[in-house]
Structure formats: C-alpha cells, structure tokens
Chains A and B, each alone.
Chain A
Amino acid sequence: MQINRRTALLGAAAIGVAGTRHARAAKNYGPGVTDTEIKIGQTMPYSGNASAYGVAGRTQAAFFRMINDQGGINGRKINFISLDDGYSPPKTVELTRQLVERDQVLLMFYSLGTQTNTAIHKYMNQKKVPQLFVATGASKWGNPKAYPWTMGWSPDYHTEGAIHARAILEAVPDAKIGILRQNDDMGNDYLDGIKEGLGADGWKRVVADATYEVTDPTVDSQILQLRNAGVNAFLNVSTPKFAAQAIKKAAEIGWKPKHHLMSVSASVGAVLRPAGFENAQGIVTAQYAKDVSDPAWANAPDYKEWKAFMDKWNPTINPFEGSSVTGYASAVTLVHVLTQCGDDLTRENVMKQAASMHQLAIPMLLPGIKLNTSPTDYYPIQSVQLARFETDHWVLFGELQSRDVA
C-alpha cells in the first residue's frame, strides 16, 4: 500500500515535471512575442519615387486588422509596424535597426525594394532576424547557405527568364532571337535565366543582344538594331517606360516578331495603354497572381473573398492596383507560417516553418500554383503561366510552367 502510494506520488510528481516541461517547450517565445501579441516590422516606400508600391503595405495592414478582429493567430494579435523609408537605403537601415533593436520585432516582413533590402541583408543575417518574403524579384534572396535568414516570395527574374526562353524556342521553331535589356542587376538576372532556359544550343540562336541604360531617353535605336539583325523572336527585358516605347516603335516600323514581355512591364495601365492596344495584340507575358481586371475570375471563391475584404477592410485603396493582390497573398502566406509555428514563436522556428511549405495553395494566386520550400530551396513561388494580350486584357493559355531549384 505504502509502495503504491509512493509510486503514485512519484508518478504524480513525474507527470507534474513533465507537465511543466511540456508547457515550457510548448510556449517558446522569441523577441516581440507575448501570450497576446506578435510584433512584425516592415519598411515600405509610402513617399518618394516608388510610393505606388505602398499599396502593398496598406493592404497588409488592413489584412492583419481583419485577422486580429477575427481573434488573431492562435489567440495572439498581430502588431504590424510598417514604416516609410522613402525608398532610400540609409533610411531603410535606420528604420530596420529601430524595429529590430528598439521595438524588438519578431521578424521583418515584405520590405520592399532591391537596393533597400541589399542594405540590410548582411545586418539581418548577422542579427539572425528573419527577413521574410522580401518584395523584390532579384534572384539573390534565395541563398540559404550564405543567408539563411532571408527569403523571397514572388517568382524571381531568373526563373521567369528561363521560362520565357523555353517558351519562345517552342513557339518559333526557326527562332532568330533578339534580346532588349536594361543594363543593371535586374537585366542581368533575367539574362542568366534566359541563358539557362535556352541552353547552349539555344543560345546560338541569339542574333542580337541590345542593352540600354536606365538614363537613356529612348530605345528606338536598339529596336532598329534588333529588326536589322533579322530577329523574329523578341525577348523584351525592359522597365515600363522603355517597354511602352519598344512596343510603339516596333509597330511604327512594321516589325512583327514573336514578342515576349517580362512581368515587370506587363501592366495594362502603365505600359500597354500608353503603347496603344492595337500595337500590343499577341504579346506574351507570364503571370503568377490573378489579374483582377480579368472577368474570368469574377465567380472564383477566392476572388469573392478578396473583394469582400477589400470592400470592408481596405476601402480607400483602388482594388485594381496590382500591389493589393500580391500584398494580400503574401500576408496570407505569413499568417500560414505563423499559424504553423504554434506556440513555438522563436525566430529559428519561424525560418524553419517558412522553409517547410509543402504544396501550399494561396488565394489570389493562379489555380495550380503551389508554394514549396525546403532548407535548401528559399524560392516559395516558382511557377508562372503564360498569357497573351487580346483586345484589352491578358488571356492565360497553356500549362503552368516551373523551374525547380535543386
């Protein structure tokens, strides 16, 4: 009896110890996390040259307000601090340090800009603070070996370049390929992808590789150069202003190659309308998110949900501004990662969960696009679908295309 009692007591004590241990293991908090709150930081250009992108940050703030109103993530409200860096790298450094060191955020989310993120890249990795889902298409963000705390989100330029290159080889059997590209990091990223997509044999079909500077007034002479080289398959790696010029000039001189336009310049409002819809018919681009001006999505459940969110929580933003879709979809991705973390909200676990997305479908991305990451694959979205410009909007065609990083 005594033995029994002692065993029982021991057992109870053991359970008690195990219980507290379990509780401790279950509730593991990094900086910025309490039982009721998760603090998240962001820098965003709300003022300055790139202020149009600020729509993404405002949409995310509205989305987190909605999540908090619905009870938060595992009972914790999101405290989202999004600061204006005016697209200036020194300001980004200052604000990021303020968020990380003074405000003690758990992580930085969807900070926007290639230069601005470059300025804090090293700092974030030295401090071991997640620099999650950076809003830039540069390919350098998916490098877990050297920078295990930084992860991109959207398809990177390299991936997209490779997919366009493969598509143009398929579509034009006797292709004489011409490339127009901006001479900077973005242009080089695309070029590397195009080289990979074409392969060594395909690269021999490139008859002209014309570059321009972002400071150039026009690309007219480059377009003439491409036409004179006999190009019949045109990879257009230019930014919006130059893309519009290129489309217009090609129509003026009656040059009609197979025309692939990179997604950075696929905006109907900013590029195709100024270039003239009649000049843009048949141009091909690549998409990963739903184009909300496309009537095909009007009855999709995720579109309706997004529209309801925009109407109720984000009424001051024009829903047709593209960044409201990507801002929404990336915020959903973050909420997924934080939900997966459960009560283990350390910076290490955030990166671990972010790097273990498996076939994850996110609303407002194209049907069939799945997010996949692993400790060696820091590129969440790697699929795009080609779309052709018809009358006044993009029409999707073909299958989803992916490039997988080993």
Chain B
Amino acid sequence: MAAIGSMTASANGWAMKRGFGPVAILFWILLALLPMLELVTDDPSFDYYMFMGQSMLIYAIAVLGLNLLIGFNGQISLGHSAFFALGAYTAAIMMTFAGWPFWATLPIAAAVCFGAGFLFGFPALKLEGHYLALATFTLAIAVPQLLKYKPIAPWTGGVGGVLLEKPEPPEWLGLSVDQYLYYLCLIVAMLMFWLVFNLLRSRSGLAMMAIRDHTMAAGTMGVDTSMYKTVTFGISAAITGVAGSLSAITIAYVAPDSFTLQLAISFLVGLVVGGLASLPGCLIGGAFIVLVQNSAQSISDWMKTSFALRYDVPAWAIYGVLLLLLMYVMPTGVMGGITVLRHKIAGRRSTRVNAPSPTVVRPGKTAGETTPAA
C-alpha cells in the first residue's frame, strides 16, 4: 500500500503541477495541428492515419475513465468494456431510432453510463479489491450476451448489430470525414481531460485520493467514503461510455463481438502501461492499445520471413513479451518511468528524498496493493 502510495504520489505531483501547464497546452495544440499536415504531405494513406488518431484518442478517453477509478480512487474494474458497449449502443440506438444528431448522443451516453455505473457501484461497495474485480468481470462477460437478448433485439439488432451513417462534415469546414471525426474525438478528449483535471484538484478529488491512500483515515476525516466510491464509479463509467459512443460514431457499426472481455483487459493494459494515476499516461495508454497489437503482428511476420520459419510465431506471444519487457524496464508505466528519469537527472544535484523506488510496483501485485487497507 505504501508502495503504490509513493508511486502515485509522485505521478500525481506531475499531473497536478504540470497537467494543464504550458507543456500540456503545447501538446494539445500539436495534436490539434496534426490534421493540417495534410497540406504538406501527399501520402495517400493520410486519412488512415487520421482514423488511427481517432482510435487512439477514443481509447485514451476510455483509459482516463478507468484511471479515475483505479489510479485515483483505488477501486478495480475488469468490466469497463461493458460501459464502453453501453455508450456505443446508446449512441447507435438514438441515431437510428430517434434520428438524433451524433453529437447530441454523447451527453446522453454519459448520463446513461453514469446511471448504470452508479447503480452497479451500490452493491459493489460491499466488495473490495479482488472481489470487486470479480464482480466487474461478470459485467464484461455478460454484456456481449445480453446485447443479443431477444426482447431488446429490435433495438440492438441482435447478433447482426446496428449499422450507422458516418456523419458528413459541413462543407465550409473543408475537412475530410476522417479529419472531421478526429477533431470531434480531440475536442471531446480535451473536454474530458479538463473535467477530470479540475475534479482531481477540487476537494472531491482530494477525497477520492484520500480514500485510495487510506480509506479508514479518510472516513475519520469526515469523508463519506461509500458515497464517494459510488459516485466515482459512476463518473468513471460515464467517461468510458462517452468513449464508447465516439467509437460507434467513427466505426459506424456496433455489434456484440466488438465488446468482449479482451477490450476490458486492453483498457487495463493501456492504463498500467501509461502509468497509474497519471493523466498524460492515459494518452500513452491509448496509443499503446492501438499500436502495439499491430506491431506484434508485424514482428511476427518479419520473424517468419527473415528466419524462414516453418511455423507462424503467435503475434499474441510477441505482444506478451513486449509487455513484459516494458514492465521490466518501466515498472510504474511510461509516465512513472519518465518521472523516475527526471528525478534521477535532478537527483545528481539535490538529495533523493522524493525519488520513488523504481521497483515499487510489480504487475502481479498491483491489484492487492491498490486495495485500501481497511
């Protein structure tokens, strides 16, 4: 517990002090300028890269939702794919059956997922650590099956899912569909990060983190721990739900097979890789989810051809090795690693009081250590 405390505290420090400081603002401006690269490149696959950008931002938002819960509040969820699905289907159903414009579905998806997360949070309050993880795990398993359930099939489309129309950009903008959707994702992502940033700086945010660091102490200080935990679960679900509805809009198709347990796990992987309790880490996590699976397959193909192997090298095994290597080199995620590096450089001059030990969190122990000692 003390271990994760020291790790997250340092990462928090980074997020809090610098989260929306000049570096962050510059970074967001750079992201906003990316689609303008089209003016200087004639790469025919530019729209594809814009699409990749959309996916990364969407996953970054989903990871942000999960990070609020795990990194800042110390609760575990293996079921966030369920809220992602709920957001996606809310958007799809409202666009198809109620004829709503795509942007109007985002707040509704957020509200629906907040409600679902809040309600799920109530019984889940009795559960902590591994037990909560298991309860949320059932959500991830059940939702793809529930979406095929007959009484709601007229709306969900059953196994076949729902096909959507991709939104057309207004002509005066002069953007391609993919650039337009990239900006949509970017604006929503900025809004979500800004909201979470402000939330964490507020008294409520401090209460959330106090609960993570020591639930009983937070209770003694007058924090309504059960209320805060439930609401945090709701907000976390809402943010992930918004990511889900963005995904429905950009893919223009929802189907039960899109929201498997594997999606929930990939959020978790993105979160841990990016760095627990780090806001910039969420963006890194989002990029990791999209890029590393594809690189694993490229490496697999490359190994097969260049070593003239008879058998395929399983891409998922390579993914596993990459993940292990990364966790070995940077046990506290990429942002944690950067913080350690910064402290090392600074440590030559000053004493190393604030530098966290780089070995504080091992992947296998994270779940246990995040559990607040009751």
Contact = CB atoms under 8 A, between A and B. Distances in A.
B47 A118 contact: no
A105 to B, nearest CB: 12
Interface in B44-87: 44-45, 47-48, 51-52, 55
B253 A215 contact: no
Interface in A45-102: 46-49, 58, 83-84, 86-90, 93-94, 97-98, 100-102
A83 B315 CA distance: 10
Interface string B304-319: 0000001110111000
Contacts of A49: 257
A79 to B, nearest CB: 11
Contact of B247 (A90, A104, A213): A90
B149 A213 contact: yes
A98 B310 CA distance: 26
Contact of A84 (B148, B159, B258, B315): B315
A367 to B, nearest CB: 34
A122 interface: yes
Interface in A190-226: 213-215
B161 A86 contact: no
A115 interface: yes
A88 B312 contact: no
A184 interface: yes
Interface residues of B, number: 36
A84 B294 CA distance: 9
Contacts of A20: none
Contacts of B159: 115, 184-186, 214
Interface in A8-65: 46-49, 58
A94 B52 contact: yes
A88 to B, nearest CB: 6
Nearest to B52: A94
A184 B158 CA distance: 7
Interface SS majority for chain B? helix
A97 B51 contact: yes
Interface in B263-306: 263, 290, 294, 297
A316 interface: yes
Given A184-B158, A185-B158, A215-B149, A101 B258 contact: no
Contacts of B297: 83-84
A401 B247 CA distance: 45
Nearest to A99: B48
Nearest to A316: B311
A335 interface: no
A102 B45 contact: yes
A119 B253 contact: yes
B204 to A, nearest CB: 34
B163 interface: yes
B257 A213 contact: no
A213 B150 CA distance: 7
Contacts of A47: 314-316
B367 interface: no
Nearest to B290: A94
A94 B145 contact: no
Nearest to A184: B159
A391 interface: no
A205 B169 CA distance: 54
A318 interface: no
B311 A101 contact: no
B262 interface: yes
Contact of B255 (A97, A98, A118): A118
A376 interface: no
A48 B315 CA distance: 12
Contact of A213 (B148, B253, B262): B148
B251 A89 contact: yes
B255 A183 contact: no
B355 interface: no
Nearest to B159: A184
Contacts of B252: 122
Contact of A185 (B145, B160, B290, B310): B160
Contacts of B290: 94
Contacts of A93: 251, 253
B226 interface: no
Contacts of A122: 163, 252
B305 to A, nearest CB: 11
A342 B141 CA distance: 50
B96 interface: no
Contacts of A89: 161, 251, 253, 255, 257-258
B366 interface: no
Contact of B145 (A86, A116, A215): A215
Given A100-B48, A104-B44, 7 more contacts: A87-B257, A90-B258, A101-B47, A183-B153, A183-B158, A185-B158, A213-B150
20 contacts: A48-B262, A88-B258, A88-B262, A89-B161, A89-B257, A90-B55, A90-B247, A97-B47, A97-B48, A98-B48, A98-B294, A102-B45, A115-B161, A118-B161, A119-B251, A183-B153, A184-B148, A213-B148, A215-B148, A316-B311
Interface of A: 46-49, 58, 83-84, 86-90, 93-94, 97-98, 100-102, 104, 114-116, 118-119, 122, 183-186, 213-215, 315-316
